[in-house]
């Protein structure tokens, strides 16, 4: 699998897990789980991907008892979720 295809797969998995009945802050945690280990990002996407990853992983994804929701306002969580969606669209080749 190429680096580009791997990135597409992990972004899809992140988006698929973003919408959860546990709320957007928890969905962002789940998205972080899928994106935290992605390393070989094609050069044209590297800067944006790293910025998204920094935002997702600003705090640990969980504790010894399980995953923890991202500690951010609802507005910041919605903004980050939209940013991930826009990035996915860019990686997929735009609409």
Helices (H) and strands (E) in the chain — how many of each?
4, 2
Find where tokens 């735009």 sit. 94
- d(CA 93, CA 39) in angstroms, rounded, equals 20
Task: Tell whether the model's pLDDT for residue 90 goes beyond 70.
Answer: yes
Can you give the residue ranges of every domain in the chain?
A: 3-92
- d(CA 28, CA 57) in angstroms, rounded, equals 10
- Give the model's pLDDT for residue 42: 94
- Give the model's pLDDT for residue 62: 93
Please answer whether residues 15 and 85 qualify as being in contact, where contact means their C-beta atoms are separated by less than 8 angstroms: yes
Residue 95 — pLDDT band, cuts 50, 70, 90?
low
- Give the model's pLDDT for residue 20: 84
Task: Tell whether the model's pLDDT for residue 7 goes beyond 80.
Answer: yes
- Tens digits of residue pLDDT in 27-82: 999 999 999 999 999 999 999 999 999 999 999 999 899 999 999 999 999 999 99
- Give the model's pLDDT for residue 19: 86
* φ, ψ at 4 (rounded to 5°): -65, -45
Task: Tell whether the model's pLDDT for residue 94 goes beyond 80.
Answer: no
């Amino acid at each position: 699998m190429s680096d580009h295809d791997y990135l597409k797969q992990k972004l899809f998995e992140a988006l698929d897990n973003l919408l959860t009945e546990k709320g957007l802050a928890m969905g962002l945690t789940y998205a972080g789980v899928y994106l935290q280990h992605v390393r070989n990002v094609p050069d044209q996407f590297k800067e944006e991907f790293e910025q998204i990853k920094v935002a997702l992983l600003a705090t640990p994804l969980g504790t010894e008892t399980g995953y923890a929701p991202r500690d951010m306002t609802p507005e910041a969580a919605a903004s980050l979720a939209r940013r991930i969606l826009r990035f996915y669209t860019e990686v997929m080749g735009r609409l």
